[in-house]
Every structure is written in structure tokens, then in C-alpha cells.
Amino acid sequence: MTDMQSSTTAAVRLASGPAGPGDIDDFELFYSRRVLSFLKARLGRQTLLDLLAPDIEAGNAFMRQSAQDSGGSFTSGTTVLETQGLNAGQFLAWMGKAFADEDVLLAAQPEHYAMVNKDDGSVHVTENIGPYICSFYLGDWAAEAMAWAADADELLPESAFPHKKATNLFLADGTIVGRVLIQFGDTDEGFSSHLTVYLPSSSPADILEHHLRHFAVEFRNWIMAAAVDSA
């Protein structure tokens, strides 16, 4: 059995007890988030990064080799989220402020370890790419769409998706190990998010699959946080 599969021989249903809303999965998620937040805060960013240093070195080496083996070609995948009760402008305004608060960025995904804004407009990110913990940079998002994104097959019509941002993912030595294109457009009920990631074509397919899941978790949580703050 791989981590992409699951099997069960029994089912458990919560019949009574807790008075609050939710089921057992909701309770477990709450406690998991709480302990992760506590441990990350207790360790602090630098201690956590020092602890993960061997894993980061291995993860970066894997991504660097994948990029070299791929010769500059990428495989893409897109996660699509449909939101009700909030428009794209409201969410992006919230995100603009959120990127100044590392705690908010870390809380969105369990596998976020560090997200640090740099003076040149880039963001230094330490997170999982598939099973690998990697330390890389996102380029300046303020540059709305980079040259490569203008020719991307995944580029959606400006009329329906006017909010677009694109960036490269690159290591400290400049090696480009991925790309991101995110596009948002308002709908009658809220807005639609098309979140595209590009990873080296030689990397295993399950790494791309896991990053599509990663996108779903982090952007859902950011959208929900934005909705709370906008209420």
C-alpha cells in the first residue's frame, strides 16, 4: 500500500458525547493544527530550520537533479476551487496583507515550515514538495505575469480571470525547480481560483499530485481566513 491509497475494514460513528459541532475528523484536525502551531512557535523558525537542515539538503538536491534531468521542461497540473460569499478582489486584498504575517502563512498548511519576505520582493519558502522538504524562493509576485506565463496553455481569458500572478520557484543557486500560475475570476456566487503548478517533467507523478492537494489545503484555509476577516 502506498501513501496514495487507503484501506479500511471497520467504520466508527460518533453517536453522542461532545456538544460542539463537527465529527471525529474535525476534532482531530483541530488538535493536529493546535499541536503543530504550538511546536513551531516553541521551536522558533531558525531552530526548526536547523533541525530540518539534512532533509532540506536532500530535498533541494532531488529538485535540482530533477530540473537538470528535465532540461527545462515541466509537467503541469491545476487545482480549481470554487468560493461562495467572497469575491476575488476581497481575497487578493487580504492576501496582500497576509504575506506580511508569517504566522498566517504557516497556519494554512501543516507542511509550511518558513515563509520569509526578502528585501528584493521574493519570498523564501521552506515546505514540502511531495515527500521532499525543500527551501526555495518565489519571485516577486508584483510582476503580475512573467513572460513565460503569456504563452502558457493554462492561461485563461482576461475577461473572465482578470487577476493573474505568476512566478518561478528557484533555489539559492538560481536553479529553476518549478513555476506557479494562479488565476482568479469572479462568479455569480463568489469567485473561482485556478491554481497551476509546474514541476520538472522528470519528477514522479505523485509529487505533482501531492502539490495539487497542497494547493487545495492552503488556499482553502487562506480563503476561509479572508472570509472571517471580511465579515
Predicted pLDDT at 5: 55
Q: For residues 149 and 39, what is the distance between their CA atoms, to the nearest angstrom? A: 38
Cell of 6: 487507503
Q: Is residue 4 part of a domain?
A: no
Q: Which among 195, 48, 206, 54 is positioned nearest to 131, based on CA atoms?
A: 206
3-state DSSP of 105-160: HHHCCCCEEEEEECCCCCEEEEEEECCEEEEEEECCHHHCCCHHHHHCCCCCCCCC
Q: Is residue 11 part of a domain?
A: no
Q: Which residues pair with 82 in a beta bridge?
A: 192
Burial of 141 (0-12, 13-18, 19+ CB in 10 A): middle
Q: Is residue 18 part of a domain?
A: no
Contacts of 158 (CB under 8 A, 6+ apart): 164
Q: Is residue 169 part of a domain?
A: yes
- pLDDT at residue 79 is higher than 90: yes
pLDDT in tens, 147-183: 788 889 999 999 999 999 999 999 999 999 999 999 9
- Residue 61 confidence class, pLDDT cut points 50, 70, 90: very high
pLDDT in tens, 98-151: 888 999 999 999 999 999 988 888 899 999 999 999 999 998 765 544 678 888
CATH number of the domain bearing residue 97: 3.30.530.20
Q: For residues 175 and 13, what is the distance between their CA atoms, to the nearest angstrom? A: 49
Q: Is residue 201 part of a domain?
A: yes
Q: Is residue 173 part of a domain?
A: yes
Q: Is residue 13 part of a domain?
A: no
Structural domain for 161, as ranges: 24-230
Rounded to two decimals, the pTM is 0.90
Q: Is residue 68 part of a domain?
A: yes
Q: How many CB atoms lie within 10 A of CB 134?
A: 25
Total domains present in the chain? 1
Residue 124 · residue 135 · CB < 8 Å: yes
Which amino acid appears at position 60 of this protein? N
Q: For residues 23 and 15, what is the distance between their CA atoms, to the nearest angstrom? A: 10
